[in-house]
Structure 1
C-alpha cells in the first residue's frame, strides 16, 4: 500500500499556541471524536491521497521549477465550522483567502494536472481543523454569549509550503518530507 500525502502550510508556533487555547475552551462544551494535535495544525493546499515514490518524486521535481510567490502574511481566525452550527462535524480556524495563497494553490494544482491529479471542482476554503467527527455537546458558536476569543484573528507569516506524509497511526500524524521556500 502506498503512503498518503498532501501539500500544506504549517501553523506557526504562535498560532499553534492560540488555537490550542481554542481547543481547550471548546472541549468544555463539546466532545469530538478527533482532536487535532497542535503539532499537526496546518492549512491543506492539496490532498493527494495514496501515491507511489515515483509520482511523489515527479511532483516534487515539477514544483522545484516553480517561481513561488514571495513570503506573505495571512490572518488566521475567526473560528468556523462545517456542518450544523449547534453540532458541527468540523470545528476550525478560518484562514484568509489571500491572492498569494490562491496563486500557490493554482501552481500546485497545475503541476499536479500534468501528473494526472484532477483539479477539485469545489471552491478552495482554507482553514485549520481543530476537531472533527460527530460531536456531543453544543458548539459555543451557536450561543449568543459565546466567548469572544473565537473572534480573534492571528497574523501568520507564510515562508514555506510543505509536502506532508500522513502517518495515521502516529501522533503527530503529519511528517514534512519536502519544503519549498517562498
Structure 2
C-alpha cells in the first residue's frame, strides 16, 4: 500500500496557538466530525494522494532544484468558511495570496504535471482548515455579534514549504517528509 502525501506550509507555533483559540470559540456553537489537530495546522499547496517512495523522491529532487522566490511574509485571518454561512461544511482561517505564494503554487503544479499529477481545476483559495464535516450547530460567523478574535490577522514569515506524509487515524496526522527552502535575502 502506498502512503498519501501533500505539499504545504506548516503554520508557525504562535499562529497555531491563536487558531486553537478560534477552535474553542467555534466548538462552543458548532460540532464537527473532523477537528484539525493544532500540530497539523498548515496551508495546502497541492494534494498528491497515494505515491510510491520513488515518486516522492523524484518530486522532492525537482522541488529542491527549482528556482523558488525569496522568503516572504503572509497574513493569516480572519476566520472564513466554505459552504453555508450559518452551517459551513468547512471552517477555516483565510490566508492572503501574495505573489510569492502564487509563484510557489504555480511551480509545484508545473513540476507535478511533468510527473503525471493532475492540476486542480478549481481556483486556489489558500486557507488553514480548523474543522470540517459539519455535524450540527450554528456558526459564530453568522451571528450579529461574534467574538472579535475571529477577525484577527496574524503575520508569518515563510522560509520553506514541505512534503507531508499523511497518517490516517493518528494524531497528529501529518508528518514532514522533506523540507524545501526558499531563497534567503543576502
Q: With the length of structure 1 as denominator, give the TM-score of the two structures.
A: 0.98
Match of 2:101 in 1: 101
The structural deviation recorded for 1:67 is 1.2
Distance 1:102 1:173 in 2: 26
Deviations 1:127-177 (A, max 9, x none): 000001123110000011111111110001111100000001210000001
Distance 2:130 2:113 in 1: 30
- Mapping of residues 140-179 of structure 1, within 5 Å: 140-179=140-179
Instruction: Please provide the CA RMSD for this pair.
Output: 0.7
Match of 1:28 in 2: 28
Deviating beyond 2 angstroms after TM superposition, the runs of 4 or more aligned structure 1 residues are none
> How many pairs were matched up?
182
5+ unaligned residues in a row in structure 2: which ranges? none
Match of 1:120 in 2: 120
The structural deviation recorded for 1:11 is 0.4
Match of 1:17 in 2: 17
5+ unaligned residues in a row in structure 1: which ranges? none
Q: With the length of structure 2 as denominator, give the TM-score of the two structures.
A: 0.96
Distance 1:39 1:68 in 2: 26
